[in-house]
Amino acid sequence: MTPSGPRRDTRGIVDGAELLTRVRFRRHDPAPELRPYLEHYWFIDWNLSEPYASHVVPHPSVNIVFQRYRNPDGHSDGHSDGTEETTFAEVSGIGLELFTKKLTGVGRVCGVQFRPGGFRPFAPERPVSDWTGRRVPLDEVFADADAASVAAVLGPETDHARVAALDAFLLALGPAPDPQATQAMDLVAVVRTDRSIRRVSELADAAGLSSRSLQRLFATYVGVGPKWVILRYRIHEALERAEATGTEGSPDWAGLAAELGYSDQAHLVRDFTATVGVPPTAYARQVSEP
């Protein structure tokens, strides 16, 4: 079950419309040989006169992120080495909490978003759960990654050249087909697209697995449990619905809660608030304000 192209939505990005006014954000397909494992490449470039904080409710996906920053005060950001410009790359495991990134000055990010379950064929020595909640320097995961690899991705000015550099880097890692990885990717796709799957037991039945076997498969290949994936996609749906209806009055939260499989509206409000940081009604008002 390979996607036909990169997603066009901003699902998971908090107030995606506002982000798009601050940065140049786009997605690209990888080489055909990589598409069974990857969602897409994502590129962001910015040149800001004042800081801007972006917020993302993470997908159940591992990312490789190549980053370059230059701040107006002449100091590097994040991995500071005392130089004006900072360039680095890392493997970003699935984030369990709301991810916030302060963007300042001039910057460039070239990211690889793997399909949930698609990272393990590139790093088969360890379960994907080992990376969950962690951001690890790229050369600690892939020994052959070096400064030249990072420069090859971040240096080109055209998207086409950056895509080619990412393709070359990933293909050199030699991912091997893995039937269990394929099974994990397909099961997560079922969760994402089939709203009738609301419980782990229902997904296990659909997969023909015991709940324990399903849990092991997800820990090894996805990095989080199936219940977490189900809940996360519920929140993504609620976030998207709040943004779509924020200008049209208050959404039917009780109806949405029932549609997403919650026992009542209070449970949806609790999960949304714990993940996004504000209740859904407040968020809908926030994104509707000019």
The set of residues, in sequence order, having a beta carbon less than 8 Å from that of 7 and lying 6+ positions away, is 27, 39, 40
Per-residue pLDDT at 6 exceeds 90: no
Give the confidence band of 77 by pLDDT, cuts at 50, 70, 90. very low
Ranges in the chain annotated CATH 2.60.120? 16-172
The pLDDT score that the predictor gives to residue 219 is 97
Per-residue pLDDT at 253 exceeds 90: no
Give the confidence band of 79 by pLDDT, cuts at 50, 70, 90. very low
178-290 CATH: 1.10.10.60
Which runs of E-coded beta strand occur in 51-154? Answer: 52-56, 63-70, 85-92, 99-103, 106-114, 135-137
Which residue would you say has higher pLDDT here, 261 or 180? Answer: 180
| Length of the chain measured in residues | 290
The pLDDT score that the predictor gives to residue 4 is 54
Mean pLDDT, the chain, rounded, equals 89
Ranges in the chain annotated CATH 1.10.10.60? 178-290
16-172 CATH: 2.60.120
Instruction: For residues 102 and 45, give the distance between their C-alpha atoms in angstroms, rounded to a whole number.
Output: 14
User: What average pLDDT does the segment 224-233 reach?
Assistant: 95
Per-residue pLDDT at 125 exceeds 70: yes
The pLDDT score that the predictor gives to residue 5 is 62
The pLDDT score that the predictor gives to residue 208 is 95
The pLDDT score that the predictor gives to residue 81 is 45
pTM: 0.88
Per-residue pLDDT at 80 exceeds 50: no
Partner residues linked to 54 by β-bridges: 101
Weakest mean pLDDT among 32-41, 137-146, 263-272: 263-272
Per-residue pLDDT at 3 exceeds 80: no
